[in-house]
Amino acid sequence: MSDINLETATLAGGCFWCIEAVFNDLDGVEDVTSGYTGGHKASPTYQEVCTGQTGHAEAVQIRFNPEIISYADLLRIFFTVHDPTTLNRQGADVGTQYRSAIFYHNNEQEKIANEVRDEIAAAGLYEHPIVTEITPADKFWRAEDYHQEYFANNPNQPYCAAVVAPKVAKFRQKFASRLKSARGRAAN
């Protein structure tokens, strides 16, 4: 497949290990890269981002085929795989680096992000208001190599076993028909 047909989404929803693991499974997603965005320091390291002093969020950049999965559907899934109502935190992970954010790449993505956020809020899925920031995409800094495919490569690491694995299992159950493996089953 040519990159010409692919689009980019950049999302932050807590630890990037969780978000990357979920979106890697989705049919129509060609690539997910963990990294840092929304901050003020060039070429930040994981250790620097973890201090909360660089302004960056742990984020993922998703290359997807909009003929298979729409940007709006990516966002609908995003809003269900993390808690968009907690400011600067996801569970025990606390700090601005764990904020919920959509970094849009063009005016159409901004419009869709606002529409989907309003749709999710109106659906009453959450008891508290959604605090997800919707902001223009900034320079995306690829995280260190060991963060890429982290859950796939380290499923028994304690954080992965306790936090990532349950999120991924819940996601796979809820969105079974949207998984890459479902496409293969449908073709048979």
Roughly how many angstroms between the first and final C-alpha of the chain, as a whole number? 21
Residue 12 phi/psi, 5° resolution? -130, 130
Residue 97 DSSP label:
G
Q: Could you give the C-alpha distances from 160 to 25, 92, 108, 152, in angstroms and in order?
A: 16, 14, 35, 9
Neighbours of 172 (CB within 10 A): 15
Residue 14 phi/psi, 5° resolution? 95, -150
Return the SS3 of 92: coil
- Which of 15, 18, 50, 160 is labelled catalytic? 15
Could you give the residue ranges of the DSSP H alpha helices within the chain?
16-24, 46-50, 71-80, 107-123, 150-153, 158-159, 165-174, 180-187
Our answer to whether residue 15 is catalytic in this structure is: yes
Which residues carry out catalysis?
Answer: 15
